Amino acid sequence: MDIESGSQNDGAGMIRLTLEGVAVRRGERQLFSGLDLTIRPGEAVALTGANGAGKSSLLRAIAGLLTPEAGRIRFDDKGQDLDLEVARTRHLHLIGHHDGFRSGRTARDELAFQVGWCGGGPGGIDEAVRALGLEGLMDLEVRRLSPGQPRRLALSR
C-alpha cells in the first residue's frame, strides 16, 4: 500500500487527521503495521496498492468501522484533540464500494430518504444538489444514472 499526499488549499476551518503506529489485522492476516501518517488541512491523499493490501480496511479504521489492532487515530482542530465519535460524525464522510441506493427510486426521493434516515433535515438538500451539479438528475431513477452520478448523489447526502 502506498500513500501520497499533496496540498490543495489553505485548509482554513478543516480538521487534521493523524495516525500513530496503526496496525490492522483481518483474521489471521496482518494487513499493515506501524503506519504513521498526518493529513493536514488542505492536503489530498492518494491511497494506492494491490487488491488485499489494506486500503479499504485503513479507511474503515479511520471511519471507526474497524478497530485497529494497535496504534492511535486522532482528529484535531487547531491543536485541540477532538472526541473521535464527534469528529467521525461531524467531519468525516466515507463513501464505500456500495452506495446503498434503491435503483427504482428517483434521485430526489432517494436523497430525501437517505438524509431523513441519517437524521438530517431537508434544509440542506437543495444546497447540496446545487453544489454537486445534480439539479438535472433529481427526477431520474437511480438506475438510469451514469456510474459517477450516484457517487455525487452519495456525496450530497
Q: What is the pLDDT of residues 24-46, one digit of tens each?
A: 998 899 999 999 999 998 888 88
For residue 9, what are the contacts with CB-CB under 8 A and spacing of at least 6?
A: 42
Residue 123 CA, distance from chain mean position: 22
- Predicted confidence at residue 110, as pLDDT, reads 86
Q: Which residues pair with 45 in a beta bridge?
A: 5
Contact (Cβ atoms closer than 8 angstroms) between residue 145 and residue 107:
yes
Higher pLDDT, 45 or 115: 45
pLDDT digits (tens, 9 = 90+) for 47-71: 898 888 899 899 989 988 889 999 9
For residue 42, what are the contacts with CB-CB under 8 A and spacing of at least 6?
A: 7, 8, 9, 10, 11, 14
Model pTM score:
0.65
